[in-house]
Chain A
Amino acid sequence: MGISRRRFLTWIGAAGMGLAASEKSHAGSLKHFEGYKDSMGVLHDMTRCVGCRLCEEACNKVNDLPKPVKDFKDLSVLESSRRTAPSAYTVVNRYEIPEQTKPVFRKIQCNHCLEPACASACFVRAFRKSQTGAVVYNPNVCVGCRYCMVACPFEIPTYDYDEPLTPEVRKCTLCSPRIEKGLLPGCVEACPKEALTFGKRKDLIKIARERIAKHPERYIEHIYGESEMGGTSWLYLSGAPFTSLGMREDLGNTPAPSLTSGALSVVPMVVGLWPVFLAGMYGMTQRREKIAEEEKEAAVALAVEEANDLAEEKLAKALSKADAEKRKALEKAEGEKEKAVKEALEAAAKPSDDSGEAVKGGDE
């Protein structure tokens, strides 16, 4: 597959699929991946489809799937609407369109999106958009979370719920093993009405435009898959409105990875800014607490100091008061002493008679 280097570089950014070198994540940016140049696809022209189910049968055969209960020739299954299943990678449904005499048949299988939702959703990269255009699945790494099934807007992937040990996600492979050998996809080869055309996607779009231009009365002027969800490798032409065929027209043209890229780009912000903010919060709390602590300490110290001062003052006052009192007391005592001495002396001087008397008395 001839790829120029410049082209190659523009693929870097495809949603985590592709070559080893281009495994950089796309989802983080908003760059739109327009598909590998020259990648293949299939055009399903529903105006040609007759609902013979030969494609279903071929698909069953090339993929070695278990034989269904009702044979592929039994068209009664078209009575009910079916979806893909682990044992049926493709199914054909019949739609009765009001105001149209003939029913329309639609073949359902994986659309092999250019930017597959399944691949961007898978957390172990089990899906890869290969250069052939096929979205291929690797059962050897799949964990079985089934987020791919949640994400696929076309409700395509199925799961082996019955398998206890080796369940796999199952879906159309675009017959990638056959394409690589140069063979046509099984369903395309089997189609007797050329309702399926295999080719380069860009050529298929040209073909589809030409058909619409040539038979505007026959077709709705829209190629389903050209831009739905960013574009798909499988393209559809129809004569009846696509919604009446169970095909959603409200999906928009935004490729799946851009739906989640915004949320993913927030991650580095949270990782970068949150700790700074939280550390700041913590620091502030600590500081507030420290200041509070310090203030408390200071207040306590002040109070203690004040109390001390007060106590000292009181003490001093008390002391000085005590001093004065002591002095007074001493003075008083001194005075009293002097007085007493004086009195004593006086007494001693005057009453020599007294004492004589006493002695006298004593002698008596």
Chain B
Amino acid sequence: MTNDTDLKPRWTWLTPFNMIAGVIVIAGIIVTLIRFTQGLASVTRLSDYNPWGIWIGFDLMVGVALAAGGYVTSSAVYLFGMKKYHSAVRPAILTGFLGYFFVVIALHYDLGRPWRLPYPFIVGWGTTSLLFEVGLCVALYLTVLFLEFSPAALEWLGYKRTRELAHRLTIVLTVFGVVLSTLHQSSLGALFLAAPSKLHPLWYSPYLPTYFFVSSVIAGLSMVIFEGALSHKAFHDKMSKTYLEEHDPLTLGFGRAAALVLAGYFTIKVVGLAADNNWHYLTTSYGLWYLFEIIGFVLLPCFLFAVGARDKNLKLIRRTSALAVAGIVLNRLNVSLIAFNWHLPRAERYIPSFMEVIITVFMVTLIVICFRFIVTRMPIFYEHPDYTEHNH
């Protein structure tokens, strides 16, 4: 993203990072004002044919998938006994928390009447809707992530007792986190089960929920590696010896795991293709696009992760993680936007407006700013001196 010096916290304000972030934030605020005073039509290119744009396709679909690092890492460490990666939990939980938080913020832009967001749980329990399940799980999981993250904040603030309390909930919260994540990650895919006539058959499958869940694990693993590599450059001085020591084995371990899950994902994708007998679509232009996704962003990263893990080539694993993350982005955009409404004539298809893109970039920037603010203050990459023993 940027080199060392750009992200390094300094109190001279005119760093390149701050200038770019500043411009984005100002643009974001302007578009926000237009959006909430003039309505959706003034900033988006949404239409009656295309009710969902990139605020759903990217901010929600991609956002939730890429924030999966939290549950993947915490369950690996606390439930599956990979304590040796303990120091990776906090950064992953923090990213997860910020990711989900801004998913919810972004949702406020997209909803027609955002102040009614709690209505599904107050006014009408629309339990027949998968969106209800998504909403409920995201709301609960955001709370779980907040609690999981709270020990770091409480240590920073010096509330020892409360911190102990929050800390003791770790295992329960982790189990909750996995259950909720399984549900809403898969339900995001299941949302599209309702529209078999609109989503291209190569992407539509009764296995959509499974695809989304399994690929969220890939997203989680790859994001932890990818983000670790970026943080390594930017916040090296904030990292404890333990973190730095555990970092390389973690990259290796998660890379190996990602190779395995990608292989599984590829297999079930092929099974789905065979089950629906969709082979003949592969020769169409959508078919080529599908193959591009499957070969370039599933098979290739699978292979590269495997090679990297075998040769203990950390650099290769880090680069592959970026490829895998891009693959998740591509997949979510394909399902929600690119292969969606494929039957419509080109004039009716959706292309995001410039202002929609600004809001999306604005959200990502806010996540980076918050992340930077927190890791330069709270014990994320190191352990607070008062709480050093790992007591799990």
Residues in A lying within 8 Å of B, measured CB to CB = 15-16, 25-28, 83-86, 117, 119-126, 141-147, 149-151, 153, 155, 157-168, 248, 250-252, 256-257, 259-260, 262-264, 266-267, 270-271, 274-275, 278-279, 281-282, 284-285, 288-289
Q: Is the CB of B196 within 8 A of A259?
A: yes
Q: How far is the CA of A266 from the CA of B209 in the complex (A)?
A: 10
- Select B130's contact among A84, A160, A260, beta carbons within 8 Å: A260
Q: Is the CB of B112 within 8 A of A146?
A: yes
Residues of B within 8 A of A289 (CB): 81
Known: A153-B195, A264-B128, A274-B182. A161 touches B119 (CB 8 A): no
Task: List 5 A-B residue pairs with CB atoms under 8 Å apart, sorted by A's residue number.
Answer: A16-B126, A27-B128, A144-B113, A167-B39, A257-B128
In the complex, what residue of chain B is closest to A262 when comparing beta carbons?
B206
Residues of A within 8 A of B114 (CB): 143-144
Q: Is the CB of B194 within 8 A of A150?
A: yes
- Select A285's contact among B52, B80, B127, B193, beta carbons within 8 Å: B80
Residues in B lying within 8 Å of A, measured CB to CB = 36-42, 44, 46-49, 51-52, 75, 78-81, 110-114, 116-117, 119-120, 123-133, 135, 171, 174-175, 178-179, 182-183, 186-187, 190-198, 206, 209
Residues of B within 8 A of A157 (CB): 48
Q: Is the CB of B48 within 8 A of A159?
A: yes
In the complex, what residue of chain B is closest to A15 when comparing beta carbons?
B128
Task: Give 14 new A-B contacts, CB below 8 A, not counting A84-B48, A161-B46, A270-B179.
Answer: A25-B127, A28-B127, A123-B126, A125-B124, A143-B111, A143-B112, A150-B52, A161-B44, A164-B38, A251-B197, A263-B186, A264-B127, A266-B186, A278-B174
Q: How far is the CA of A288 from the CA of B81 in the complex (A)?
A: 9
Q: How far is the CA of A145 from the CA of B126 in the complex (A)?
A: 13
Q: How far is the CA of A2 from the CA of B211 in the complex (A)?
A: 47
Known: A143-B113, A155-B48. A263 touches B124 (CB 8 A): no
Q: Is the CB of B37 within 8 A of A123?
A: no
Q: Is the CB of B126 within 8 A of A142?
A: no
Q: How far is the CA of A274 from the CA of B206 in the complex (A)?
A: 21
In the complex, what residue of chain A is closest to B192 when comparing beta carbons?
A150
Residues of B within 8 A of A160 (CB): 39, 112
Q: Is the CB of B123 within 8 A of A121?
A: no
Q: How far is the CA of A318 from the CA of B22 in the complex (A)?
A: 80
Distance (whole angstroms) from the CB of B13 to the closest CB of chain A: 35
Q: Is the CB of A145 within 8 A of B131?
A: yes
- Select B131's contact among A15, A123, A141, beta carbons within 8 Å: A123
Residues of A within 8 A of B120 (CB): 123-124, 143
Q: Is the CB of A145 within 8 A of B111?
A: yes
Distance (whole angstroms) from the CB of A349 to the closest CB of chain B: 84
Q: Is the CB of A163 within 8 A of B128?
A: no
Residues of B within 8 A of A144 (CB): 111-114, 116
Known: A150-B198, A275-B175. A162 touches B41 (CB 8 A): yes
Distance (whole angstroms) from the CB of A86 to the closest CB of chain B: 8
Distance (whole angstroms) from the CB of A140 to the closest CB of chain B: 8
Residues of B within 8 A of A267 (CB): 133, 183
Known: A263-B209, A285-B81. A121 touches B178 (CB 8 A): no
Q: How far is the CA of A119 from the CA of B47 in the complex (A)?
A: 20
- Select B127's contact among A16, A146, A250, beta carbons within 8 Å: A16
- Select A167's contact among B112, B128, B174, B195, beta carbons within 8 Å: B112
Residues of B within 8 A of A151 (CB): 194-195
- Select B179's contact among A123, A158, A250, A274, beta carbons within 8 Å: A274
Q: Is the CB of A159 within 8 A of B112?
A: yes
Q: How far is the CA of A259 from the CA of B186 in the complex (A)?
A: 15
Q: How far is the CA of A107 from the CA of B232 in the complex (A)?
A: 62
Interface centre among B110, B130, B135, B174 (most CB of A within 10 A): B130
Residues of B within 8 A of A15 (CB): 128
Q: How far is the CA of A47 from the CA of B244 in the complex (A)?
A: 77
Known: A146-B52, A147-B131. A164 touches B81 (CB 8 A): no
Q: How far is the CA of A142 from the CA of B51 in the complex (A)?
A: 15
Q: Is the CB of B119 within 8 A of A143?
A: yes
Q: Is the CB of B194 within 8 A of A141?
A: no
Residues of B within 8 A of A165 (CB): 113
Q: How far is the CA of A167 from the CA of B35 in the complex (A)?
A: 13
Residues of A within 8 A of B195 (CB): 150-151, 153
In the complex, what residue of chain B is closest to A279 when comparing beta carbons?
B175
- Select B191's contact among A119, A147, A149, beta carbons within 8 Å: A147
Q: Is the CB of A281 within 8 A of B111?
A: no
Distance (whole angstroms) from the CB of B300 to the closest CB of chain A: 30
Q: How far is the CA of A28 from the CA of B127 in the complex (A)?
A: 9
Q: Is the CB of B119 within 8 A of A141?
A: yes
Q: Is the CB of A123 within 8 A of B194?
A: no
Interface centre among A15, A27, A123 (most CB of B within 10 A): A123
